[in-house]
Amino acid sequence: MTKRRVVVTGLGVVAAPGVGVDEFWKGLSVAPGPGPLGVSDWDPETRGIAKREARRLDRFSQFAMVATAEAVEMAGGLPHEPSRVGVSIGTGIGGLESLEKLIYASDDPEPRVSPLWIPMMMCNAAAATISIKYGFVGPATTPVVACAAGAQAILDAFRNIQWGYCDAAVAGGSEGAISPPTILGFSSARALSPSGYARPFDLHRDGFVLGEGCGIMVLEEREAALARGANLLAEIVGAASTADAHHITAPHPEGAGAEQAMRLALQDADLTPADVAYVNAHGTGTDLNDRTEGTVMHRLFGDDQPPISSIKGTTGHGLGASGAIEAVATVLAIVRGELPPNVGLSELDPEIPVTHVVRAPEAWTPGVAVSNSFGFGGHNTVLVFAPPEAL
């Protein structure tokens, strides 16, 4: 079977730098205050979700609904046969807000428990709600692979279209897990930044900062998108996922799984490392992740490295949403002809062998762009994008 080509025709985003593609892009260049980096003043009603509907949706599902609405509108709708449209929304934790309500209620001698709290806390709630709202009856799935979940959801949708199971898909990741228990848990694991600032690849980085939000893409089979006159934003030309099989939180010390994922993704795209013009790095701001990822990129590209940047200095680490938010930023870099900066970097760690970290918004000639996502448990997912006319 011939692999079909898959393009991006719509984008939607909810994140700390901004809600909506335009505000988000502007916010990627603005250094925030100390974290956690939540979505400020979130009001689902002002974002198009009716009050009654909002009460039935956990925060992470609300984010997904708003980002999906933007992406579908940008795509000009999805006038495909509903059975040929899939939904894939990854998450790391799911409806934590609703789970906490249920736990706190259980301590009350006369608990008042909403019958909706169980469906609201389910990890698949965002994907199911989107499917129900839009009537998409193709496969609706929810990858739960920690910080790689959003990217894995995009990969899964890409494969479904590529191999003919769908003609279009809504894909991405969503997370709304900033809460005292989450902060306590990550702090006890010594993963969070005590300073509250994410500083990817910096000599003085001290951990990641919690973020939240959602990134959504509308993906379509290229010929079907062209036939209906859709605006092609980018093309997904390759993808891969691997496992470290090493440790439940720490990356493989040599980055073997991450490197294999990057090599396989480029091989899937029929490209070589020399073809890559930009890497949107996972770059969490933790000691091990940044050093390992930098080492992997040096092995892959040598001294002739493409520019790289991590956007977690402005978005925080959105856990299961991070890969999708970063994939949206990668496509926007292609669309807007500008690379997003690595906010928080003041002094590059000399032990990280990278040569070109983007420190301020940087003009470029859009080309092949790689988006890395590496999650707890050793999950590695890599997406490869290109301008729609490039290949």
pLDDT, one tens digit per residue, over 72-93 is 999 999 989 999 999 999 999 9
Domain 237-377 indexed as CATH 3.40.47.10: yes
Number of other residues whose CB lies within 10 A of the CB of residue 107? 7
**Lowest mean pLDDT, pick from 185-189, 262-266, 354-358:** 185-189
All residues at 6 or more sequence positions from 151 whose CB lies less than 8 Å from its CB, including other chains: 90, 173, 323, 324, 326, 327, 371, 373, 381, 382, 383
Q: How much is the pLDDT for 270? A: 97
pLDDT of residue 293: 97
CATH homologous superfamily of 6-200+212-227: Thiolase/Chalcone synthase (3.40.47.10)
**Phi and psi angles of residue 87, each rounded to the nearest 5 degrees, phi first:** -135, 130
**End-to-end Cα, the chain, rounded Å:** 20
271 DSSP assignment: -
Give the pLDDT confidence of 270-320 residue by residue, as tens digits. Answer: 999 999 999 999 999 999 999 999 999 999 999 999 999 999 999 999 999
Q: Which of 179, 181, 207 is nearest to 193 (CA)?
A: 207
pLDDT at 114: 78
Tell me what the pLDDT averaged over the chain comes to.
94
| 242 membership: H or E segment, kind and range | strand 234-243
Segment 360-386 shows an average pLDDT of 96
Give the confidence band of 144 by pLDDT, cuts at 50, 70, 90.
very high
Residue 104 CB partners (closer than 8 Å, separation 6+):
none
- Reply yes or no on whether the pLDDT at 391 is more than 50: no
Q: Is the pLDDT of residue 386 over 60?
A: yes
Active-site annotation, residues: 147, 282, 317
The answer for residues whose C-beta is within 8 angstroms of residue 93's C-beta and 6 or more apart is 60, 123, 175, 177, 182, 319, 320
What number of other Cβ atoms are within 10 A of residue 56's Cβ? Answer: 16
The dihedrals phi and psi of 34, each to the nearest 5 degrees, come to: -65, 150
pLDDT at residue 390 greater than cutoff 60: no
Q: Do 237-377 and 6-200+212-227 have the same topology in CATH?
A: yes
Locus of tokens 């609703």:
98
Domain boundaries, the chain: 6-200+212-227, 237-377
pLDDT above 50 for 196: yes
In this prediction, residues 65-73 reach a mean pLDDT of 98
Looking at residue 1, its pLDDT comes to: 67
**Residue 130 pLDDT exceeds 90:** yes
In one-letter notation, the amino acid at residue 106 is S
The b/e string for 317-345 (b: 16+ C-beta within 10 A; e otherwise) is: bbbbbbbbbbbbbbbbbbbeebbbbbbbb
Backbone phi, psi, residue 100, to 5°: -65, -40
3-state secondary structure of 146: helix
Say what angle helices 59-74 and 125-134 make with each other, to 10 degrees: 40
Residue-wise pLDDT tens digits, 20-44: 999 999 999 999 999 899 999 999 9
How far is 16 from 183, CA to CA, in rounded Å? 17
Lowest-pLDDT choice from 96-105, 152-161, 332-341, 380-389: 96-105
